[in-house]
Amino acid sequence: MSHLKRAVALGALLGLGAIAGLVLAGRLALTTPTAAAPPPQVPVPAIATTPGPAGLPDLSSVAERAVQSSTNISSTKMIRVRTDPFEDFMFGRRGGEMIQPSQSLGSGVIVSADGFVLTNNHVIGDDRGLRVEGLEIKVTLPDGRELEATIVGTDEATDLALVKVEATGLTPMPWGDSSKLRIAEWVLAIGNPYQFNQSVSLGIVSALARPEQFVDFIQTDAAINPGNSGGPLINARGELVGINTQIFSQSGGYEGIGFAIPSNLAREVMDDLIKFGEVRRGSIVGLAQLTALTVEQARDNDIATIPGVYVRNLYRNSTAIRAGLRPGDLIVAVNGRDVTDLASFSRLVAAEPIGSTAKVDVIRDHARLTLNIPIEQMPSRR
């Protein structure tokens, strides 16, 4: 009997040990394996990548050539400004106006060997409606010479200006085709940021066709700061593809978003300024108020939801009225090219030859009509 009790006791002990082992094993499996040996590595397949170019272009050589076509520009003008009547009374001054100097600094690009320099309109002193008493423009060439410049012409709509210095044998920058730019293409911005002469910054084309009324801007992350305005944006071949003009900034400095006027547009403006002294831009005379409609507005006004520009008002006895355009029309095409918004309409009409007749498609009472409307010279804003 004692032997039987010993056997039962030994069996019970063995059973309890087995159970304890299972419980302990279960607990170890649920804990984090921090102190345990690392699990065996499972091979991860490599991500397939497309081989890149053999190497970047020699941007140092490109930049060295490009700075020989870049200039610094300063303009000083005397303007008349209205004085504060209260300050006039306090300081015993005569009320009215006073003259004060205003200075602007920026950059430019040499576009001909005989002294034509392209820049921004605001660099040479956009007067913003103030009366200019005197304007002095100085261009500092890459060799350090500072020369007085005369204005050939300006275009406020594109913020471009062309000036001329009396010099020969300059190094013009070769023109590039801005229509061939691609997103993520390398570009260099050259200019005079914060008066640091001939500064070069590297970036890519971040986006294309950022539209305003007459310009489809090039967006770049090449650093552009105050003073870069009017300077060149060049591609990796050293060709002029844009004129740097503005930045998006909440601090006043570089935040990674800059904009340039495409070189193809800049060249057209320059050619007009040389030939006519102004930009010859087509217009339909008599359009008083145009708006782009949302789908909801079109539905609420029982207008077809085709993209276009809605004519709200027209001037009496105008060219547009005589050609058959009416308030309530939705303009959807100009010479067969679709109108998607106000900017596209402005550019399509502006590109038409002055004195020609454009076929303008409109939606009226749910029917599509084609009107023959004369194209006239856009009136100057000044």
Residue 5 lies in a domain: no
Residue 35 lies in a domain: no
* Domain-terminating residue out of 133, 165, 197: 165
pLDDT of residue 46: 38
Do 216 and 291 sit in the same domain of this protein?
A: no
Residue 53 lies in a domain: no
CATH of the domain at 295: 2.30.42.10
pLDDT of residue 215: 84
Q: Which of 70, 74, 159, 206 is catalytic?
A: 159
pLDDT of residue 265: 94
Do 293 and 358 sit in the same domain of this protein?
A: yes
Do 143 and 206 sit in the same domain of this protein?
A: no
Do 95 and 66 sit in the same domain of this protein?
A: yes
- Residue 20, classed as helix, strand or coil, is helix
Report which of 230, 174, 242, 175 is spatially closest to residue 206, judged by C-alpha positions: 242
Identify whether 366 is a catalytic site residue: no
pLDDT tens readout for residues 263-315: 999 999 999 999 998 898 899 999 988 888 777 777 777 776 668 899 999 99
Q: Which of 69, 74, 75, 122 is catalytic?
A: 122
Amino acid at 82: R
- Residue 269, classed as helix, strand or coil, is helix
Strand partners, 173: none
Helix (H) or strand (E) holding 312: strand 309-314
Do 65 and 114 sit in the same domain of this protein?
A: yes
Identify whether 159 is a catalytic site residue: yes
CATH of the domain at 146: 2.40.10.10
- Residue 144's domain comprises 60-165
Strand partners, 308: none
Amino acid at 353: P
**Residue the block writes with tokens 């050259």:** 190
* Domain-terminating residue out of 276, 293, 320: 276
Say how many domains are in the chain.
Answer: 3
Do 265 and 341 sit in the same domain of this protein?
A: no
| pTM (predicted TM-score) | 0.71
Residue 299 lies in a domain: yes
Q: Higher model confidence: residue 164 or residue 75?
A: 164
Residue 39 lies in a domain: no
Band (43; pLDDT cuts 50, 70, 90): very low
Q: Which of 69, 229, 283, 346 is catalytic?
A: 229
Do 350 and 300 sit in the same domain of this protein?
A: yes
Do 66 and 159 sit in the same domain of this protein?
A: yes
Do 288 and 373 sit in the same domain of this protein?
A: yes
Residue 1 lies in a domain: no
Do 233 and 300 sit in the same domain of this protein?
A: no
Residue 7 has pLDDT above 50, yes or no: no
Identify whether 122 is a catalytic site residue: yes
Overall average pLDDT of the 363-367 stretch: 87
* Domain-terminating residue out of 111, 140, 165: 165
Residue 101 has pLDDT above 60, yes or no: no
Q: State how far the alpha carbon of 368 is from the alpha carbons of 14, 40, 45, 333, in Å.
A: 96, 72, 58, 10
Overall average pLDDT of the 250-258 stretch: 77
Strand partners, 105: 74
Q: State how far the alpha carbon of 48 is from the alpha carbons of 45, 51, 209, 213, 231, in Å.
A: 9, 9, 32, 44, 41
Q: Higher model confidence: residue 102 or residue 227?
A: 227
Q: How many residues comprise the chain?
A: 382
Q: What percentage of the chain has pLDDT greater than the value 70?
A: 73
Do 241 and 210 sit in the same domain of this protein?
A: yes
Do 212 and 186 sit in the same domain of this protein?
A: yes
Q: Higher model confidence: residue 195 or residue 168?
A: 168
